[in-house]
Structure 1
């Protein structure tokens, strides 16, 4: 395997560059998935049946916490990549760890939010609006959960092996995935929660 030292470590081999390109293609499929879920939500957003509307259900407090935590995690994963490019193993691991901790906080707030909705009688079969909402938020939450598992595995590999072309590539691709989740959340925050509160 030929390593090109003029490039960042995550791009240093042809295999690594192909993996990054392949991941961008995968993100294109993820965009199609979330676009479909958003479209379904927008079609069903006014179908409340006997259930609550977004205006009655949504509270700004938990949503702002989720947004702040997830956007901060996007910053920390960027710092992790920066540390990785300077071969600072310990700071990179700390920033990845902070990113994962913030992701856990996000999931905790989201799960609490879901439990609150259910106690208020807002469940999946209550209305078309709620079913589309739960599927959209649940899909994003499932992606965050997967990201936590994936990031933890990468953290263990970095602890064992340090930064090699393989671990650097995995770390960079994970950062792309995490940034993607943050972008999706910005759309959820803007077009689901804020619009629903109006």
Structure 2
């Protein structure tokens, strides 16, 4: 009966519920895909709400987007896309059984992710200073040159925009923190390097999660920062 113990070659044997390592690998990846689909429903609801409100209040949403810092968001986009590259290189290094390269690329990915969160925190602080953070009962002040859309004040519509913005970016930041925690665990395992095949398998699963974080940010960047015309 197969066990999870390592064989003489240092390669792990499949768990008892799997026929071989390839089946176990596919099961792990499938489990992550199912999880990401549930997360997609969460972010999908936010983007769907944004799309509906953007159509109804296009002018106000476009003006409100102009209050966001596009340059910082562009830098963060470059950082996150770069982290996707370093994560892919970490996966390739683990697959080639290159311990030092795997550790190095994981550290680079974590550094880029931490820098992303630091810049995002600075951006949030700037928005807080300008009273554009209508969360947790904080004061919200918004001045506009636009006429009120119907009977609804412009500030109220702009508040909807910023509520969606902070919900989307806040959830994304939480997912990034979770991702950094996962990478920290993978880094600890890579330093020990006792079961390279297991590290390779788990890094591919972690890489899917990190890629999901990248894709979500691309949608956030496009919807909230670029659609200002």
Q: Confirm or deny a common fold (TM above 0.5).
A: yes
Q: Check the 8 A contact 2:99/2:193 in 1, yes or no.
A: no
Q: Give the Cα separation in 2 of the matches to 1:68 and 1:77.
A: 14
- Aligned to 2:227, the other structure's residue is in SS state helix
Counterpart selection for 1:37 from 32, 46, 69: 46
In the other structure, the counterpart of 1:124 is 134
Which consecutive unaligned segments of at least 5 residues does structure 2 have?
14-19, 141-158
In the other structure, the counterpart of 1:177 is 209
Q: Give the Cα separation in 2 of the matches to 1:63 and 1:140.
A: 13
Q: Give the Cα separation in 1 of the matches to 2:85 and 2:44.
A: 25
Counterpart selection for 2:72 from 62, 67, 70: 62
Q: How far 1:59 moved relative to its partner?
A: 2.1
Q: Give the Cα separation in 2 of the matches to 1:171 and 1:182.
A: 16
Q: Give the Cα separation in 2 of the matches to 1:95 and 1:73.
A: 9
Moved more, 26-35 or 158-167: 158-167
- Aligned to 1:58, the other structure's residue is in SS state coil
Counterpart selection for 1:148 from 162, 177, 180: 180
| Change beyond 3 A, Cα 1:191–1:178 | same
CA RMSD in angstroms, aligned pairs only: 2.4
- Larger relative contact order (CA 8 Å, sep ≥ 6): 1
Q: Check the 8 A contact 2:94/2:196 in 1, yes or no.
A: no
Q: Check the 8 A contact 1:48/1:130 in 2, yes or no.
A: no
In the other structure, the counterpart of 1:86 is 96
- Aligned to 1:53, the other structure's residue is in SS state helix
TM-score calculated relative to the size of structure 2: 0.75
Counterpart selection for 1:167 from 187, 190, 199: 199
Q: Give the Cα separation in 2 of the matches to 1:54 and 1:110.
A: 16
Q: How far 1:190 moved relative to its partner?
A: 1.4
Q: How far 1:124 moved relative to its partner?
A: 2.4
Q: How far 1:163 moved relative to its partner?
A: 4.3
Quick check: which has more Rg, 1 or 2? 2
Q: Per residue, is there more helix in 1 or in 2? A: 1
Q: Give the Cα separation in 1 of the matches to 2:123 and 2:64.
A: 15
Q: How far 1:48 moved relative to its partner?
A: 10
Q: Check the 8 A contact 1:70/1:106 in 2, yes or no.
A: yes
TM-score calculated relative to the size of structure 1: 0.86
Aligned length: 189
Counterpart selection for 1:188 from 210, 220, 225: 220
| Change beyond 3 A, Cα 1:194–1:162 | farther
